[in-house]
Amino acid sequence: MAEAPPKREELVQITYSPPPGNWQNTRVEFRKGTFCYSAAAKNVRYLGMPNPRDWQPFEEDWKLPPDWKEIILKGMKERLERFRPFRLFMDICVRCGACADKCHFYLGSADPKNMPVLRAELIRSVYRRYFTFAGRIFRGLAGARELTEDVLKEWFYYFYQCTECRRCSVFCPFGIDTAEITMMVRELLNLVGVNTNWVLEPAANCYRV
């Protein structure tokens, strides 16, 4: 049975003050009701997708392939070369914040990483580290960071909260399509078997006879 919705008194207590500390060092907290459950191994296997296994996001060990990092970076390189808008969107954001208060997930959660600009920064920081000269040389000074399991968990948590409504894109002065960035990240996650069941189970059922 679904839990009762929050009361008005609880909603008005949401604070939009940014949390203390560096956003890059804040680990994801998988709280009940804030994340999607992982795809069942049988559905992943039925669709012929990578790395079928039983796991859940709130577990510490996601049972990733040993070479998961290389798989992600190779997939990212292929998409940067194939999709020009993806590379363009990685480079042209000036962080003006015009999109920040347009996202219903940010308004409802007050989590800064749900602002479209910062959600996209979760992958931009990795892009800078591995695919730009400044990021390879200056690392953190250039806004770059290493691809780690914690970063991968951030991607799963925040990019699956995006509904790809494109409201943020309407207000972006540069026309950055955050929905396309979301699609790319979900594709990268799929390469290492990080999927959600509400997507893969209906897809698998469509092919069952």
Residues 201, 107 contacting (CB under 8 angstroms): no
Domain that holds residue 118: 69-209
Report pLDDT digits (tens) over 141-199: 899 999 999 999 999 999 999 999 999 999 999 999 999 999 999 999 999 999 999 89
H helices present in 66-196, as ranges = 68-82, 84-91, 104-109, 116-131, 133-138, 149-159, 167-171, 178-191
Any domain includes 23? no
- CA–CA separation, 101 and 78 (whole Å): 32
Any domain includes 26? no
Q: What is the CATH number of the domain that holds 91?
A: 1.10.1060
Any domain includes 31? no
* Entry pTM: 0.89
Any domain includes 14? no
**pLDDT of res. 1:** 42
More confident residue, 172 or 108: 172
One-letter identity of residue 8:
R
Report pLDDT digits (tens) over 24-66: 888 888 988 888 899 999 999 999 999 999 999 999 999 999 9
The tokens for 139 are 């690392």
One-letter identity of residue 134:
A
- CA–CA separation, 78 and 122 (whole Å): 19
Question: Considering its fold, how many domains does the chain have in total?
Answer: 1
- CA–CA separation, 157 and 111 (whole Å): 12
- What's the whole-number mean pLDDT along residues 72-81? 97
Any domain includes 48? no
- At 155 the three-state DSSP class reads helix
134, 170, 175, 181 from 102: Cα distances, Å: 31, 9, 14, 17
DSSP state of 66: T
Any domain includes 32? no
Contacts with 116 (C-beta within 8 Å, 6 or more apart), sequence order: 99, 100, 102, 103, 106, 162, 168, 178
